[in-house]
Amino acid sequence: MRVKIEACLNPTESPEKLSLALKSIFPSADFSCRENLFLAEGDQKIVEHFSSLLEKQRIRDSANVHLRLKAHHGRLKFFLNKQAAFAGKVNFCSDCAMGPIVVEIEGEDLLQFIDRISPRTGGEEDED
């Protein structure tokens, strides 16, 4: 798996705060900043903490559904809210006012990868 994480720094944003937001979700990622773009690339280990946050926030089922909808032809691309990330929370977004954190993952067996980082809990099933 190849993982790429990027976020544009807006003129109204603090580079230090954006760096803290990125590190709160992806602490093992090595971010560089060039021309107001924070960028990190690596393998699936980068998303280990992200996965633990999904469990901690109890959003694995909804994350699994969301990520599966975003996976196409060996590529998964999703967006995270910067402000939520600054608070150490995962919040998926499609239209983030401050611009999103963009996560792109490429590789084979993406659905298995999604099930590994956000396994279904079975809580979505109806009880009799």
pLDDT tens digits, 68-80? 999 999 999 999 9
pLDDT in tens, 58-104: 999 999 999 999 999 999 999 999 999 999 999 999 877 789 999 99
Single-letter residue type at 97: A
Establish if 52 belongs to a structural domain.
yes
Q: Which helix (H) or strand (E) holds 76?
A: strand 75-80
- Written as one letter, the residue type at 27 is P
Locate 106 and state its tokens.
């490429």
How many angstroms separate the CA atoms of 11 and 26, rounded?
Answer: 23
Domain containing 64 — which CATH number? 3.30.1440.10
In a domain, 127, yes or no: no
92 part of a folded domain: yes
- 125 is a domain residue: no
Contact 54, 90 (CB under 8 A): yes
User: Could you tell me how many helices (H) and strands (E) the chain has, helices first?
Assistant: 5, 6
Domains in the chain, number: 1
Give the separation between CA 35 and CA 27, rounded to whole angstroms: 22
Task: Please report whether residue 122 resides in a domain.
Answer: no
- Residue 127 scores a pLDDT above 90: no
Q: Which residue type does 20 have?
A: L
123 in a structural domain: no
In a domain, 128, yes or no: no
Domain extent at residue 10? 2-117
Examine residue 101 and state whether it is found in any structural domain, yes or no. Answer: yes
**Half-sphere exposure (Cβ direction) of 33: Cα atoms closer than 13 Å:** 11
At 96 the pLDDT is 79
